[in-house]
């Protein structure tokens, strides 16, 4: 199948012409993180079925597939064409050609969001405090609160002493209840810089009367200063509608209005969804527990603070329409305001969105052609087990004796697969294993099966798990962009390099020339 190609020069023109455009990088996330285009979004071949159906809801969108010249982009493009995508191209020469044409390549992940955080600090003058001074404030008993803007899971792993978990999308919504005294100093932290800055500036832009500062360099800066993080803390915001929600609504509305956010209703959402020539993302920005308890059919859970911190997890099309939903409009307005400041041209808050008519959504295909095996059958067997979970998750817990593998590199295990009478594939919930079944079966005449329910089902059945932080080693984890905390060695150097990288992004986007933040 012949796929159209596009030159680096032509692609740069597309990036700045204002039309919808998806740049999908077919490499694994770790490889993507080493060097990629600023506007590229990771869509690794090993997870393409699941990722494409999140990132590309409109198959009429212009798409450019990218790699580093190894033919991965062509394979992704062929998959898209097979789905019915009608405007698919491959960047001729990949990232090497992009750089040779005088363009900038970026390292890291979630780069647009990280760069935006640094821009916010420069543009709005977000104030910050370093770790030793914050420790001195804590020791002195100063009237203050420390609010951790990361996810609940991240907070539980490590946190600043006295800190409370209030993910970024909840800050402006709940601050009135959490901090009723206008004299209380508010400190916002994350692991590094971006969510600290975004969280602190969200409160400042909402206009709360308190002084607000970000913890400079987050928990990384805390540990680099020789201070110790807490682990396993359980302090978090009280769920439910805050008593001060009406005040939060007035504050969020003012910020959204200044940022050019559009407001629509259920009927307006239906009209947007009916336009099949435009990409529409319908994102629910509430806490994940609220989404799980009930949500609009067709919407996707994208907690507000994490959405702004990692837009490329949910939004793959530059220039798309974005509709945000929550229960009373506060969190949607705050998130929408930041997305507008980030440069997304059409961002809507859907008032009454939870009661709207279901929105169409391209469902992730379900794999039915595979041979299942139960936990009990596997426990009684002598199978070769290949775990296709993320490397970082495999380290945290895997079935004893399992080997870690990557779906797109199963051929590396072919000799062992051929010799085994039974090969069992697993992954966290079994989905990734089901996708890989046909590819593994093609490597052997023996029996290949998929563990029903994946490793989660194994654990739920009270079966043992092995944990080994060194397996696979850092160098093998090309499927995941290792953060400093994920590394087995050189953690302190990695922290310093990461923080320097974030700070320098402001200068890198100036060199790139295609990035414009603000409204």
3-state secondary structure of 73: helix
Which residues have a Cβ under 8 Å from the Cβ of 83 and sit 6 or more positions away?
52, 59
Here the tokens at position 292 are 């799980």
State both tokens at 63: 């798409």
Q: Residue written as tokens 């974030």?
A: 502
Sheet holding 403-404, edge to edge: 372-373, 447-451, 422-426, 384-387, 403-404
514 occurs within a structural domain: no
Q: Which of 46, 78, 108 is the last residue of a domain?
A: 108
- Does residue 59 fall inside a structural domain? yes
- Cα separation, 265 vs 278, whole angstroms: 19
Query: Is residue 367 in some structural domain?
Result: no
Residues 254 and 232 in one domain: no
Boundary-marking domain end, from 108, 131, 159? 108
Per DSSP, 424 falls in state E
Would you say residue 489 lies in a domain?
Answer: no
DSSP H helical ranges for 442-515 = 454-460, 491-512
| Statement to judge: residues 120 and 233 lie in one domain | yes
In the chain, how many domains are there? 4
Could you tell me if 231 and 175 lie in one domain?
Answer: yes
pLDDT at 396 (0 to 100): 96
Write down the pTM of the prediction: 0.95
Does 177 lie in the same domain as 198?
Answer: yes
**What are the distances in angstroms from CA 135 to CA 163, 166, 193, 258, 395?**
12, 20, 18, 36, 33
Residue 106 DSSP class: B
- Distance from C-alpha of 67 to C-alpha of 222, rounded to nearest angstrom: 37
d(CA 407, CA 409): 6
CATH code, 216: 3.40.250.10
Q: How far apart are CA 172 and CA 442, in angstroms?
A: 53
Q: Using CA of residue 205, residue 319, residue 101, residue 42, what is the dihedral sign? A: positive
Does some domain include residue 382? Answer: yes
* Pair (98, 122) in one structural domain: no
Residues 351 and 377 in one domain: no
Is there a contact between 39 and 20 (Cβ–Cβ < 8 Å)?
A: no
Q: Are residues 171 and 76 part of one domain? A: no
Q: What is the largest CA-CA distance in the chain?
A: 72
**Residue-level pLDDT at 1:** 63
**Residue 496 is assigned to a structural domain of this protein:** no
Task: Please check whether residues 151 and 217 belong to one and the same domain.
Answer: yes
| Angle at 279 (CA atoms; ends 276, 283), nearest 5 degrees | 120
List the Cα angle 49/54/55 in 5-degree steps. Answer: 100
Same domain, 153 and 100: no
- What is the span of the domain harbouring residue 69? 4-108
3-class DSSP assignment, residue 265: coil
Q: Please report whether residue 508 resides in a domain.
A: no
* Domain identity same for 192 and 126: yes
Per-residue model confidence as pLDDT tens for the chain (519 residues): 689 999 999 999 999 999 999 999 999 999 999 999 999 999 999 999 999 999 999 999 999 999 999 999 999 999 999 999 999 999 999 999 999 999 999 999 999 999 999 999 999 999 999 999 999 999 999 999 999 999 999 999 999 999 999 999 999 999 999 999 999 999 999 999 999 999 999 999 999 999 999 999 999 999 999 999 999 999 999 999 999 999 999 999 999 999 999 999 999 999 999 999 999 999 999 999 999 999 999 999 999 999 999 999 999 999 999 999 999 999 999 999 999 999 999 999 999 999 999 998 877 778 889 999 999 999 999 999 999 999 999 999 999 999 999 999 999 999 999 999 999 999 999 999 999 999 999 999 999 999 999 999 999 999 999 999 999 999 999 999 999 999 999 999 999 999 999 999 999 999 999 999 998
Same domain? 124 vs 74: no
What are the backbone dihedrals phi and psi of residue 358, each rounded to the nearest 5 degrees, phi first? -50, 140
Is 361 among the domain residues? no
Q: If residue 349 lies in a helix (H) or strand (E), which one and from where to where?
A: strand 346-350
Tell me how far apart the alpha carbons of residues 26 and 65 are, in angstroms, rounded to a whole number.
Answer: 7
Domain end, chosen from 71, 86, 108, is at 108
Domain co-membership, 279 together with 167: no
The token pair at 173 is: 């919504």
Q: How far apart are CA 104 and CA 461, in angstroms?
A: 50
Closest CA to 27 of 12, 7, 46, 11: 46
């Amino acid at each position: 199948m012949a796929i159209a190609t596009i030159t680096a020069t032509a692609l740069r023109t597309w990036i700045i012409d204002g039309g919808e455009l998806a740049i999908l990088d077919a490499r694994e996330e770790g490889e993507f993180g080493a060097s990629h285009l600023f506007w590229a979004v990771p869509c690794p071949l090993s997870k393409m079925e699941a990722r494409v159906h999140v990132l590309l809801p409109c198959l009429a969108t212009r798409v450019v597939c990218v790699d580093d010249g190894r033919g991965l982009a062509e394979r992704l493009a062929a998959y898209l064409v097979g789905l019915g995508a009608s405007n698919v191209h491959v960047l001729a020469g990949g990232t090497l050609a992009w750089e040779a044409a005088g363009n900038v390549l970026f390292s890291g992940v979630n780069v647009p969001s990280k760069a935006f955080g640094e821009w916010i600090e420069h543009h709005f003058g977000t104030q910050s405090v370093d770790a030793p001074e914050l420790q001195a404030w804590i020791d002195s008993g100063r009237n203050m609160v420390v609010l951790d803007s990361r996810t609940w899971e991240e907070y539980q792993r490590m946190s600043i002493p006295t800190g409370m978990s209030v993910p970024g999308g909840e800050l402006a919504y709940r601050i009135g209840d959490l901090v009723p005294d206008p004299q209380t100093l508010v400190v916002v932290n994350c692991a590094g810089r971006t969510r600290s800055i975004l969280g602190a500036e969200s409160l400042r832009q909402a206009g709360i009367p308190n002084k607000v500062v970000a913890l400079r360099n987050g928990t990384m800066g805390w540990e680099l200063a020789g201070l110790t993080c807490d682990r396993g803390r359980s302090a978090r915001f009280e769920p439910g509608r805050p008593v001060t929600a009406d005040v939060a609504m007035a504050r969020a509305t003012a910020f959204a209005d200044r940022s050019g956010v559009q407001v629509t209703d259920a009927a307006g959402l239906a009209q947007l969804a009916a336009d099949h020539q435009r990409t529409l993302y319908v994102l629910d920005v509430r806490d994940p527990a609220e989404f799980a308890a009930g949500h609009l059919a067709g919407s996707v859970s994208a907690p507000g603070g994490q959405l702004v911190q990692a837009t490329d997890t949910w939004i793959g099309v530059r220039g798309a329409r974005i509709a945000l939903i929550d229960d009373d409009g506060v969190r949607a307005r705050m998130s929408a305001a930041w997305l507008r400041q980030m440069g997304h041209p059409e961002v809507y808050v859907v008032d009454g969105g939870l009661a709207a008519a279901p929105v169409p959504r391209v469902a992730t295909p379900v794999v039915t052609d595979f041979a299942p095996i139960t936990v009990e059958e596997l426990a009684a067997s002598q199978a070769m087990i290949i775990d296709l979970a993320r490397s970082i998750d495999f380290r945290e817990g895997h079935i004893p004796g399992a080997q870690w593998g990557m779906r797109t590199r199963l051929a590396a295990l072919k000799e062992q697969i051929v010799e085994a009478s039974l090969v069992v594939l697993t992954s966290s919930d079994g989905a990734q294993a089901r996708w890989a079944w046909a590819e593994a079966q093609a490597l052997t005449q023996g029996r290949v099966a998929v563990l029903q329910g994946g490793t989660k089902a194994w654990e739920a059945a009270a079966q043992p798990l092995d944990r080994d932080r060194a397996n696979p080693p850092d160098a093998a984890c090309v499927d995941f962009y290792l953060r400093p905390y994920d590394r087995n060695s050189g953690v302190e150097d990695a922290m310093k390099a990461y923080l320097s990288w974030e700070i320098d992004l402001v200068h890198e986007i100036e060199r790139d020339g295609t990035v414009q933040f603000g409204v």
